[in-house]
Amino acid sequence: MLGNEAQAASSVKLLDPVSAANTAAATSGWIDARSAEGDIMFHNQVGALTGSITWTIEHASDGSGTGAAAITPNEGAYAAGAANQLQKRTVSANAILGYVRCVGTIVTGPALVAAAISYRPKVPSNWL
């Protein structure tokens, strides 16, 4: 984000910091991202880690996960996460079905993890 775009950005947590013993515990709920424009930035953070974790981004048409599918970030797939690491990926808001989530596939847990997204919200039509 350049200039003052960081001030205008919306940030939403996907996963509160948690010690996740398995993939289910490292999977966020569905987040409504229909108000995003441009790129949606995913921030995935790993703290202490026993085994390994690999993140994926999924999108769906509603908050229940209808039509859920993985989506490849602009930078390519995530590499396996290492301890004390922050990984960033972006996805075009035009490429998603409306809702997004992160799935942290844990091979051996636990892993301390957290995830969030940031994006530029659309300008309301009554402002134009």
Residues 69-106: tens digit of each pLDDT: 999 999 999 998 889 999 999 999 999 999 999 999 99
Instruction: Give the CATH number of the domain where residue 109 resides.
Output: 2.60.120.380
What domain range is 95 assigned to?
Answer: 11-122
Number of folded domains that form the chain: 1
DSSP symbols for the chain = --TTHHHH-EEEEEEEEEEESSTGGGBPPPEE-TTEEEEEEEEEEEEEESS-EEEEEEEESSTT-TT-EEE--TT-SPPPB-SSEEEEEEEEGGGS-SEEEEEEEESSS-EEEEEEEEEEEPPPGGG-
pTM (2 decimals)? 0.89
Mean pLDDT over the full length of the chain: 92
Residue 3 within a domain = no
Q: Determine, yes or no, domain membership for 61.
A: yes
Residue range 40-60, pLDDT digits in tens: 999 999 999 988 899 999 999
